[in-house]
Amino acid sequence: MKVVILCGGKGMRMHELTEDIPKPLVNVGQKPMLWHILKTYNYYGFNDFLLLLGYKGDKIKEYFVNYKWKNHSFSLDTAKDEMHMMDKAEDWKITFLDTGPNTMTGSRIKRAQHLLENETFMLTYGDGLSDINIHKLLKFHRAKKRVATVTGIEKKSQYGTLTVKDDIAISFNEKQTNIGVINGGFFVLEPEVFNYIKDDTNCAFEQDPLVNLALDNQLAVYMHNGFWTACDTYNDIVKINNLCNQNKAKWKVW
């Protein structure tokens, strides 16, 4: 089963880090975020990846083309032009698909249809880390028999919240108040999902496609109560790198 990863965003909210590289290559614990995501799926036996590239996609290609020799010991026979790895490298099959620098998420997925049309596939974002159990996610999707499954995250407010009536507070809850379920990525999708995506550059998967899937009762929600974080801002990257430095990187299930 293929794992599709959206890697085309510009990372405008962490421009300090993404001026020269795309957001999925921003380092977390000395490895790109994208590397951590691949390691998570690989831990559960999924190693066939399709990267949907956009902004500075050549940098992602370059990273993986050079990955073996930069990250593993090897011997080199220059006379025969042969390289022999001295330790085991990751068993990854990666397809790099250029989907345009300004293409929206849904349109990027649509442009991969010819590679995915007749099979169930997984999809996630190149900037979200989690200790999600992929086997349980897939089992849930198959049991619900819907076109799409999204991983739901119970979002909690980091601030105290007030309930107000007629300009007067009638209750106050100190922090960690549930404010709803958000899209945590880590999708499982059937080929029929392409019927919900327009063939243009401006279709955001998080808008009409997911809205219409929900209206058609075709969007299942797998609730994940473990670790999950989005890496949207410079401060997010600082926080998750601090977790790495403290040996608290809970997403590292491998």
Q: Is the pLDDT of residue 132 over 80?
A: yes
Q: How many CB atoms lie within 10 A of CB 27?
A: 14
Task: Report the pLDDT value the prediction gives residue 130, as an integer from 0 to 100.
Answer: 97
Distance CA 113, CA 107 (A): 10
pTM for the full model?
0.90
Q: What is the average pLDDT across 65-82?
A: 86
Q: For residues 79-94, b (16+ Cβ closer than 10 Å) or e, as one string?
A: eeeeeeeeeeeeeeeb
Task: Report the pLDDT value the prediction gives residue 163, as an integer from 0 to 100.
Answer: 66
The residue ranking higher by pLDDT, 143 or 14, is 143
pLDDT category, 84, cuts 50, 70, 90?
Answer: confident
Q: Is the pLDDT of residue 42 over 70?
A: yes
Q: Identify the structural domains of the chain with CATH numbers, from first to last.
A: 2-151+180-245 (3.90.550.10)
Distance CA 197, CA 210 (A): 9
Q: What is the average pLDDT across 111-128?
A: 95
Residue 187's nearest CA partner among 214, 211, 216, 152 is 152
Q: What is the average pLDDT across 52-65?
A: 96
Query: Helices (H), strands (E): how many in the chain?
Result: 9, 16
Helix, strand, coil shares of the chain as percentages rounded to 5?
Answer: 30, 30, 40
> What is the CB-side half-sphere exposure of residue 51 using CA atoms within 13 A?
29
Distance CA 6, CA 125 (A): 5
**Segment 160-188, tens digit of pLDDT:** 666 666 765 556 566 556 678 899 999 99
**Segment 90-105, tens digit of pLDDT:** 889 999 999 999 999 9
**Segment 222-234, tens digit of pLDDT:** 999 999 999 889 9
The residue ranking higher by pLDDT, 195 or 170, is 195
